[in-house]
Amino acid sequence: MNFGNQTPTIVVLKEGTDASQGRGQIISNINACLAIQDTLRPTLGPLGSDILIVSSSGKTTISNDGATILKLLDVVHPAAKTLVDISRAQDAEVGDGTTSVTILAGELMKEAKPFLEEGISSHIIIKGYRKAVDLAVNKIRELAVDTSAENDSRKMLEHCARTAMSSKLISSNADFFVKMCVDAVLSLDQQQLDDKLIGIKKIPGGAMEDSLFIDGVAFAKTFSYAGFEQQPKKFKHPKIVCLNVELELKAEKDNAEVRVEHVEDYQAVVDAEWQIILDKLKQIEDSGANIVLSKLPIGDLATQYFADRDIFCAGRVSPEDLDRVIKAVGGVIQSTTSDIQQQHLGTCEVFEEVQIGSERYNLFQGCPQAKTCTLLLRGGAEQVIAEVERSLHDAIMIVKRALQNKLVVAGGGAIEMEVSKYLRDFSKTIAGKQQLIINAFAKALEVIPRQLCENAGLDATDVLNKLRMAHSRGEKTFGVDFENESIGDNLAKFVWEPALVKINALNSATEATNLILSVDETIKNKESQPANAGMAPPPGRGRGMPM
């Protein structure tokens, strides 16, 4: 048969593959992202609400932290997962602003949607957004206030922590927790500021303000054997040895084969086993240590031996807790007991074991090397304590960033309104489609103050009009004032945020939007059936039979 010039159809993709493309596909992806934005909108700001999420296993989580909510939502739409990723990246990079970055990205897409429907190429929109974000970031750097010249940098850190906590569960206890956050960050090595060295332990029961800040290390009492009760539970200026040695009587008859001809020979083997562990214990005692910590078990014989000699011991200490102990008290982990020198021992001012709630905790306080600290969090329910932990994590990360980067900007929507005004003014100086796109970017920035007003029950249109007027008069730091339900100078009111948070949020939101706008085709592969699906198992390999 002669087809002439007609080209036969060639099937490249597997049958059942779903492929959709074109402008409709971009708009469909934008709609999916807007659904995610709608979920997070009510949680923004000091008067935002919390979301209760129930997992498939029945575990409940109450939170208004954007990254936590998106992590727990089972998002299946491939484009919407981009918003989950930028929220996580914001959490990892700066610790706060996870809800803002998602809402901003959604709003930028929403503003781009009418242009796409009118037939404007997505690449023109991407180009305009890139230009706008560069201008916005430069403007934020220009508006940022350098606080490094301030005499009291602690006050600056406290203002930043208080702003980060304003939208969290702990906002009503801010005075208590702000001090705890700043103390925690300032106790770290100021060169490295490794926030992983801030230990957080959750103890159910009590009120939130029963939480404790330990300038050193605290960990829950480890599993202990009989004889532990007789050990002293408090020392002043103790010598602490940290081991990676098992102090348990191991019967070698379980692990080795020994051939003996006489009963005396068997007794010699048993005596040798006892002698090995007793030698180890004697060497630890001779080192002068008052406290013995080990990653490995400390058995009943060793526990009783130490109790008779007024030595405290704890076995099976978790590696991260032991590492933090060493950073706080000094010393080195020993993998043998035969050569423990004085320089291998650590010390602290006070060690004690205390009852906190229903658990006993070992506290090492007044540590000479204190480059670590521990926060013991209390609360009525597990969900409450978990949310307190997330809130403190955000505040600690903000304090850390503010300490590293002394630039701060006014919060409460002030910086967004000023950047929006600046971009609107800039757009009037250029011609063509870019003017409209940069103007759309400026309009999208207003979503933050608008949403703050809506969540607080204020008249968003009225407040935004007042803000636009204030910023046109040159009031650059005016934002939403929740106390007076109007507008106010947020820089003077110490509603401060690190400039880094805003810059990172704008960059991430714009990148995510441009990524979604540049994707105009989705190919979804059909799930493949396993090669042996539906086949009977081979003989002797049926379900429930030994392999």
Residue 163 among the catalytic residues: no
pLDDT of the residue at 267: 77
Of residues 319 and 148, which shows the higher confidence score?
A: 319
474 CA to centre of own chain: 37
State the CB neighbour count (10 A cutoff) for residue 415: 29
Residue 147 among the catalytic residues: no
CA dist 137 and 500 (Å) reads 10
Indicate the average pLDDT of the chain.
83
pLDDT of the residue at 540: 47
DSSP label of 528: P
CA dist 86 and 73 (Å) reads 15
391 CA to centre of own chain: 9
- Which residue in the list 98, 102, 347, 477 is annotated as catalytic? 98
Q: Measured at the alpha carbon of residue 68, what is the angle toward residues 516 and 385, in degrees to the nearest 5?
A: 170
The 3 state secondary structure assigned to 354-370 is EEECCEEEEEEECCCCC
Contact predicate 44/103, CB 8 Å: yes
Residue 102 among the catalytic residues: no
CA dist 82 and 512 (Å) reads 6
- Average pLDDT, integer, range 263-291: 83
Based on C-alpha coordinates, what's the Rg of the chain?
Answer: 31
User: H or E element: which one contains 53?
Assistant: strand 51-54
Where residue 104 falls among pLDDT bands split at 50, 70, 90? Answer: very high
- Which residue in the list 43, 61, 99, 347 is annotated as catalytic? 99
Weakest mean pLDDT among 154-158, 254-258, 515-519: 254-258
- Residue 486 dihedral angles phi and psi, to the nearest 5°: -150, -140
Give DSSP secondary structure letters for 438-478. Answer: HHHHHHHHTHHHHHHHHHHT--HHHHHHHHHHHHHTT-TTE
Tens-digit pLDDT profile for residues 458-495? 899 999 999 999 999 988 889 998 888 888 898 888 88
- Which residue in the list 39, 65, 68, 82 is annotated as catalytic? 65
Which one-letter amino acid corresponds to residue 304? Q
Q: What CATH superfamily classification does 18-146+410-524 receive?
A: GroEL-like equatorial domain (1.10.560.10)
CA dist 339 and 332 (Å) reads 12
Q: Is 214 helix (H, G, I), strand (E, B) or coil?
A: strand
CA dist 3 and 13 (Å) reads 24
Measured CA distances, 543 to 115, 524, 534, 547 (Å) = 58, 33, 14, 10
Q: Is 254 helix (H, G, I), strand (E, B) or coil?
A: helix
Q: Tell me which architecture the domain covering 153-215+379-405 has in CATH.
A: 2-Layer Sandwich (3.30)
pLDDT of the residue at 427: 92
Q: Is 233 helix (H, G, I), strand (E, B) or coil?
A: coil
Q: Is the pLDDT of residue 59 over 90?
A: no
Across 131-135, 260-264, 265-269, 345-349, the highest mean pLDDT is recorded for: 131-135
Domain residue ranges of the chain, discontinuous segments joined by +: 18-146+410-524, 153-215+379-405, 217-250+280-369
Stated pTM of the model: 0.77
Residue 183 among the catalytic residues: no
Give DSSP secondary structure letters for 82-134. Answer: HHHHHHHHHHHHTSS-HHHHHHHHHHHHHHHHHHHHTT--HHHHHHHHHHHHH
CA dist 330 and 353 (Å) reads 20
- Average pLDDT, integer, range 513-537: 68
Q: Tell me which architecture the domain covering 217-250+280-369 has in CATH.
A: 3-Layer(bba) Sandwich (3.50)
Of residues 208 and 22, which shows the higher confidence score?
A: 208
pLDDT of the residue at 260: 74
CA dist 59 and 232 (Å) reads 40
Weakest mean pLDDT among 311-320, 411-420, 522-531, 538-547: 538-547
pLDDT of the residue at 78: 82
- Which residue in the list 394, 477, 510, 513 is annotated as catalytic? 394
Q: Is the pLDDT of residue 17 over 60?
A: no
Dihedral of the CA atoms 156, 158, 159, 163 (nearest 10)? 140
Q: Is the pLDDT of residue 7 over 60?
A: no
Contact predicate 45/452, CB 8 Å: yes
State the CB neighbour count (10 A cutoff) for residue 411: 30
Q: Is the pLDDT of residue 8 over 50?
A: yes
State the CB neighbour count (10 A cutoff) for residue 393: 21
Of residues 273 and 210, which shows the higher confidence score?
A: 210
Tens-digit pLDDT profile for residues 120-137? 888 999 999 999 999 999
